[in-house]
Amino acid sequence: MSNDDEIAAAVARHGWQVLSITDAPEPFLYTCGLTTTFSHPELIIFDPAPNAGYLILAAMVEGIRNGRSFAQRGEYDRVLIEGNVAVRDVHPTQHEFYLGCAMGHFRHMGRIGQLKALQVYWPDSKGRFPFQPHCDEDVYMAQPRLDVALPPEEIEDLRGEFGS
Chain segment 110-164, per-residue pLDDT in tens: 888 889 999 999 999 999 999 999 999 999 999 999 999 998 888 888 887 766 5
SS3 110: coil
Chain segment 88-115, per-residue pLDDT in tens: 999 999 999 999 888 888 888 888 888 9
**How far apart (Å, rounded) are the C-alpha atoms in residues 78 and 84?**
6
* Cβ 32 vs Cβ 101: under 8 Å: yes
SS3 23: coil
Whether the per-residue pLDDT at 13 is higher than 70: the answer is: yes
In terms of C-beta distances under 8 Å and separation of at least 24 residues, what long-range contacts does 136-142 make, across chains too? 142/26, 142/46, 142/48
Higher pLDDT, 137 or 51: 137
pLDDT band per the 50, 70, 90 thresholds, residue 56: very high
SS3 160: helix
SS3 138: helix
pLDDT of 74 reads 95
Chain segment 77-89, per-residue pLDDT in tens: 878 766 799 999 9
